[in-house]
Structure 1
């Protein structure tokens, strides 16, 4: 199979400096809302890249649960590979890929744990079976069989019964505080539009914007 023949041109639009909001969080909110209205299957899905102690990067898809002027929040098991790597190196990268809109957003920054109270507030909104799953999955650790996982899940479900599921001490959220944000819009002939926001003290918004070559 000749993979070199798998290609298409990006023709859905462009991006100019005048169209950009001075604040990257507001620009992200605008693009995210457009992605949501496009009925993309998982507009909150984002690739999270971390780096291990040996310098080896690793990636996985996580879900954005909320964002504000302080950063972008996702939740996970604190004993997972991603959490262990964040503990050793808090610098991470997020990537949103909205192919239906021919757009990407890359967010580089540092990950920091949110408070237990903030994590508990979100945890209580999860479906009960998802809450139980957080207790029984030793995320990223070796598992001899799926049957063992399902057995642990059923035992926990029976034990909890009609009661409330408490927040696990080993589970919670991280906020990625951005140090730079890039907006990418596909264009014809691979002449894509790319704009990079970086912090600065010379503008009212606190961010400078530069166009990058595609």
Structure 2
């Protein structure tokens, strides 16, 4: 299957993408991973992307599109892929359509993870990270540490990242609504959008997604 995964920040896209890609035996292609890989390997696209990032500018669509195209042409993506973070806007969605059409391919589904805005804010703004080890992550409501402000694993100080503040989260949601959400309408016209609730336990959301995708593929 060839799938695009969409949803607001805090919807659990990364977590669901990993589970779905494993269940469907297709590669999980994340924009973040693409950027990191190209920059660390110092590819021409990576150097170009870094030149914009170092100036604090957005990487142009054509660079992101070229990275995605290169990754989708790898042998492991021959029979399908799950795109996470791409396309991010309608221009990228149109470019993806053109890429696939040139190869006589098409998308099978656009999986839209739906989460109420207040829940997104609650999920992200409640996160607390350990200063000693950023892999130690807690949540004031869903995974509270035994002692407030102290990491259960190493007793390090827990803090809230600047980009996890409620004000920043709401700004990120605004960007999502204006830039990324329009691709849902773009794909609805093609009959590709499958919307599911991303509320509940991770495995419940995964099961819901798998069932919705199997219906779409039928």
TM-score norm. by structure 1 comes to 0.27
Higher helix proportion (structure 1 or 2): 2
Whose strand proportion is higher, 1 or 2? 1
**Greater gyration radius:** 1
Q: TM-score if structure 2 supplies the norm length?
A: 0.27
